[in-house]
Amino acid sequence: MKHTTLSTLAAAAVLLAGVGSGAALGSLRERQDTGSGQRSVPVQSAELVCPAPLAGSGSTSWVTVAVPPGARPDADGGPVTVSPIDDERQRVLTASKPGVTAKAYPSGTVPPLVARASGPLAAGLTVEQVTSTDAGEACGLSATPCGPAAADFWFVGTSTLPDRSAVLYLTNPEDSVAEVDVAVYGLEGPIESEAARGITVQPHAQQRLRLDALTGGRSVPALALHVMVRSGRVAAAVRDQEDKNLTGRGVDWIPQTTGPAKTLVIPALPAVDGVQALYLVAQGGDGTARVRLISKDGPYAPAGAESVPVTQDRVSSVNFKLLRGQPVAVLVEAQVPVVAGLRVTRQVGKAAEAAFLAATPPLAGPAVIADARTSSTFTTTLLLTARTADGQVKVTTFGSGQPRTRTVRIPKDTTVTVDLAGPGKATQYAVFVEPQPGSGEIYATRLLQAEKSASFTLLPLLGARYTATIPDVANDMSAGLSPVTEGQ
């Protein structure tokens, strides 16, 4: 295997500078009183972790950093940096102003990377990693957001069937050892394994765990994972791959799903030919889940999949096809709390590809797509769904030249498609998605697809982090001290 040095990576970095208007973000950067003894202040630091990408012959990976319009670097901040997890001083990428920084990796071994920012550039920072493989067992397009270290994760929809291989990545960006337990659920219930308990992840290191090792070598058609960090924090990710006769039939990262709830929405999947698989795991007893697909014409029940029995700690699965040839979001209304995931398959002739979606909360604020492309090789589409009321979203593409903004209206309980184009003549750019005041709940998906093959990948959008909530400080006369007034 060819090993690519990090100095080579840094030398090949490409900076696509783009400065946009700060009007869209101005209100977000001011302090906000929450009215509950707490207040929101602008985020002043960010640390996002990218798992080690797939490496090998025919694979090209790149990481993209997006700093939204409106950020204003000052003397108290610094650039966004991307470095190997074990060497913060060795920078692969930097971004010093609003815009997009993209880096393509040659074939070779690349370590986990950590993006860091402090000061104004930390607010809204978004990082994504994409891999394109043109042949072999891992043939396809895969993408994952680089996320913060945390203590709890759910992943739904993977498998240990003979033609599937899945790997759990646990990455520790901190200075102390992390200890992790993984609860594994299958069609028959919890799968007990000593290998899934007391997993240690060393500081500034990554553990890769094959899921067949966590299931004791058992072949399980559908799995859900609950990653629980007992000490420290980690970033968790799951990569799933299907191949048949050494030919790839689908590879992608499984997005983290929101925690158990009675009502869940999986952002829209595109209109694709193939059988789609919905997976549910009950976490509050047994019951029934009602499933509705939200299309451009409104909600409808998928044939044969409108009602799904769910059992505590067991994976329930149901397959459906898109009968109307339209993109749809998936609404799940259950009698008991559940977690949910979706495996999306696309058939183009004899070629097949797969991607994954997961339930998300509605966008409570702006979201950022770090990697969007419109060229002879790739196209990018935004899928938007409105719930509870009519929706209105401002969509801004930025990256080089003057940002391009449009307003999209989404009728209540419908899904619409937005074909994206970069600002000016840009073929690589980022996207700022901002629900407008008074809008209904908004759910969104980024579809990135290859023009001349079945390859595609899906990204359910989450709100970018702009503010942090801190407690208000009140005078405590018993201590004989008063807080310093701001500005003194």
Question: Does one domain contain both 12 and 144?
Answer: yes
Tell whether 486 is covered by a domain: no
Q: How many domains does the chain have?
A: 3
Question: Does one domain contain both 221 and 302?
Answer: no
Contact between residue 451 and residue 377 where contact means Cβ atoms under 8 Å apart: yes
Task: Give me the phi and psi of 27, to 5 degrees please.
Answer: -70, -25
Question: Does one domain contain both 294 and 178?
Answer: no
Question: Does one domain contain both 343 and 377?
Answer: no
The confidence band for 19, taking pLDDT boundaries of 50, 70 and 90, is: very low
pLDDT of residue 109: 73
Question: Does one domain contain both 189 and 62?
Answer: no
pLDDT of residue 15: 36
pLDDT of residue 395: 98
Tell whether 243 is covered by a domain: no
Q: Which residue, of 182, 215, 233, is where some domain finishes? A: 233
Q: What is the pLDDT of residues 338-381, one digit of tens each?
A: 999 999 998 887 788 999 999 999 999 999 999 999 999 999 99
Q: What is the pLDDT of residues 292-322, one digit of tens each?
A: 999 999 999 998 888 999 999 999 999 998 8
The confidence band for 96, taking pLDDT boundaries of 50, 70 and 90, is: confident
The confidence band for 76, taking pLDDT boundaries of 50, 70 and 90, is: low
Q: Judge whether residue 477 has pLDDT over 50.
A: no
Least confident of 365-369, 420-424, 443-447, 484-488: 484-488
Tell whether 90 is covered by a domain: yes
Question: Does one domain contain both 74 and 188?
Answer: no
pLDDT of residue 228: 99
Q: Determine the structural domain holding residue 270 and report its residue range.
A: 261-358
Question: Does one domain contain both 193 and 141?
Answer: no
Question: Does one domain contain both 279 and 395?
Answer: no
Q: Judge whether residue 460 has pLDDT over 80.
A: yes
Q: Judge whether residue 71 has pLDDT over 70.
A: no
Question: Does one domain contain both 29 and 130?
Answer: yes
Question: Does one domain contain both 182 and 118?
Answer: no
Higher pLDDT, 323 or 386: 386
Higher pLDDT, 422 or 135: 422
Q: Judge whether residue 413 has pLDDT over 90.
A: yes
The domain spanning residue 214 has which CATH number?
2.60.290.11
Q: What is the pLDDT of residues 384-393, one digit of tens each?
A: 999 999 999 9
Q: What is the pLDDT of residues 227-257, one digit of tens each?
A: 999 999 999 999 999 876 555 578 899 999 9
| Rounded average pLDDT over 263-291 | 95
Tell whether 254 is covered by a domain: no
Taking the model in full, what pTM does it have?
A: 0.89
Question: Does one domain contain both 378 and 338?
Answer: no
- In angstroms, the CA 226 to CA 259 distance is 10
Tell whether 186 is covered by a domain: yes
